[in-house]
């Protein structure tokens, strides 16, 4: 999926969590299931954790350090193969 689609899914999940306390509790307790139910594919081996900011707690996400080397999906895209890669995020694989 493309980054825009990930952002759209994220925005919908956040909006629903803000509007529905039971949904938010499920999302916090079992994010993998809830995100899959939203139609988002999660590659094998990827773990997702949901953290909620509060009035006195803010989370700072440190992204994975970028490598100078291309991963297999990126290499396939630049070599003209295209394949079935839909612009996966190189940090998460989704």
pLDDT tens-digit map of 42-88: 889 999 999 999 999 999 999 888 877 777 776 676 766 544 434 44
List, as one string, the DSSP characters of 7-61: HHHHHHHHHHHHH-HHHHHHHHH-HHHHHHHTT----TT--------BTTB----
Q: Does residue 92 belong to any structural domain of this protein?
A: no
Q: What is the pLDDT of residue 93?
A: 54
Question: Whole-number mean pLDDT of the chain?
Answer: 82
Q: Does residue 8 belong to any structural domain of this protein?
A: yes
- Can you give the pTM of this predicted structure? 0.64
pLDDT tens-digit map of 2-37: 678 888 889 999 999 999 999 999 999 999 999 999
Q: Does residue 88 belong to any structural domain of this protein?
A: no
Q: Quote the number of domains for the chain.
A: 1
Residue 64 lies in domain: 3-78
Q: Does residue 84 belong to any structural domain of this protein?
A: no
Q: Does residue 87 belong to any structural domain of this protein?
A: no
Q: Does residue 65 belong to any structural domain of this protein?
A: yes
Q: Does residue 85 belong to any structural domain of this protein?
A: no
């Amino acid at each position: 999926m493309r980054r825009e689609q990930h952002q759209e899914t994220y925005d919908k999940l956040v909006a629903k969590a803000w509007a529905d306390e039971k949904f938010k509790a499920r999302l916090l307790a079992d994010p993998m299931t809830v995100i899959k139910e939203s139609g988002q594919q999660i590659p094998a081996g990827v773990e997702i954790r949901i953290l909620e900011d509060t009035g006195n707690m803010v989370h700072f996400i440190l992204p994975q350090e970028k490598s100078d080397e291309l991963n297999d999906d990126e290499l396939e895209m630049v070599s003209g193969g295209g394949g079935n890669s839909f612009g996966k995020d190189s940090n998460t694989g989704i």
